[in-house]
Amino acid sequence: ILDVILKAGLDERVCSLGGLFGAGIYLAENSSKSDEYCTPDSRGICRMFVVRAVLGSSYEAMQAMNNVRLPPVMPGSDRLHDSVIGVTKDTHPSAFLEKYREFIVYDRRQTYPELLVEFKRV
């Protein structure tokens, strides 16, 4: 998968509908959140991307949004939000996420994998 992302970028078309916020490209502001999904290779090397993303007008989700492929419609409009932010209890007490905010885009053209980071856990 790494080689595919390096050559073609991220692709929401292969994302799972089973994600907390549907089939989108999930991004994190904290590398410790991304590290939860890293699996070391045979040499103990983990990899993650630093990604630039355009969020535009974001919908702040306090609950899960399973089985979606698009962000919600803006209130009083027929226009969709551009992204979803899974907010945490820290800023929204009724939110279900505890520790880390999540940023989800549903269109690969909103992302640019800028840097591949390789690291070993110590």
Whether the per-residue pLDDT at 71 is higher than 90: the answer is: yes
DSSP lists the bridge partners of residue 46 as: 119
Whether the per-residue pLDDT at 39 is higher than 90: the answer is: yes
**pLDDT band (50, 70, 90) for residue 1:** confident
| Nearest CA among 94, 19, 12 for reference residue 53 | 12
Chain segment 85-98, per-residue pLDDT in tens: 999 999 999 999 99
CATH number where 66 lies: 3.90.228.10
Contact 105, 82 (CB under 8 A): yes
Whether the per-residue pLDDT at 106 is higher than 90: the answer is: yes
Whether the per-residue pLDDT at 28 is higher than 90: the answer is: yes
Tokens coding 70 = 């698009």
Average pLDDT of every residue of the chain: 95
User: What percentage of the chain has pLDDT greater than the value 70?
Assistant: 100
Whether the per-residue pLDDT at 68 is higher than 90: the answer is: yes
Tokens coding 121 = 């856990």
CA distances from 23 to 46, 65, 94 (A): 24, 10, 24
Rounded mean pLDDT, 57-63:
97
**Total number of domains in the chain:** 1
Q: Tokens 């027929």 identify what position?
A: 78
- Domain range for 17 is 1-120
